[in-house]
Structure 1
Amino acid sequence: MSHGKLVSIPFVFEQPCPIRDVLDRIGDQWSLLLLEVLEHGTMRFSEIERAITDISKQMLSKTLRRLEEDGFVKRTLYPEVPPRVEYELTDLGRSFLTPMKTLIAWANENHQAICEARSEYGAKNGGR
Structure 2
Amino acid sequence: MEKSKFGVCPLFTFEKIISGKWMLPVLRRLEQNDGIRFGALLRCFPEITKATLTKQLRRLEEVGFVLREETEGYPRNVAYRLTDVGHEFLHVFNKVEAWCEIYLADKAEREAHAAALAE
Q: Same fold (TM over 0.5)?
A: yes
Structure 2: distance between partners of 1:103 and 1:80: 42
Which residue pairs with 2:115 in the alignment?
none
Q: Which residue of 25, 44, 50 corresponds with 1:51?
A: 44
Alignment of 1:1-128 (within 5 A): 14=6, 16-40=8-32, 41-111=34-104, 113=107
Normalising to structure 2: TM-score of the pair? 0.75
SS in 1 for 2:64: coil
Normalising to structure 1: TM-score of the pair? 0.71
Sequence identity of aligned pairs in percent? Answer: 34
Question: How many Å apart are 1:19 and its aligned residue?
Answer: 1.4
Aligned CA RMSD, in angstroms, stands at 2.3
Residue identity opposite 2:24 in structure 1: L
Higher helix proportion, which one? Answer: 2
Structure 1: distance between partners of 2:26 and 2:17: 13
| Number of matched pairs | 105
Question: How many Å apart are 1:73 and its aligned residue?
Answer: 0.1
Would the aligned equivalents of 1:32 and 1:100 in 2 still touch at CA under 8 Å? no
The superposition leaves residues 4-34 of structure 1 with CA deviations (integer Å, 9 ceiling, x where unpaired) of xxxxxxxx86363121112212132111111
Structure 2: distance between partners of 1:56 and 1:45: 12
Structure 1: distance between partners of 2:20 and 2:104: 18
Would the aligned equivalents of 2:6 and 2:16 in 1 still touch at CA under 8 Å? no
Which structure 1 residue ranges, 5 or more long, are not aligned? 1-11, 118-128
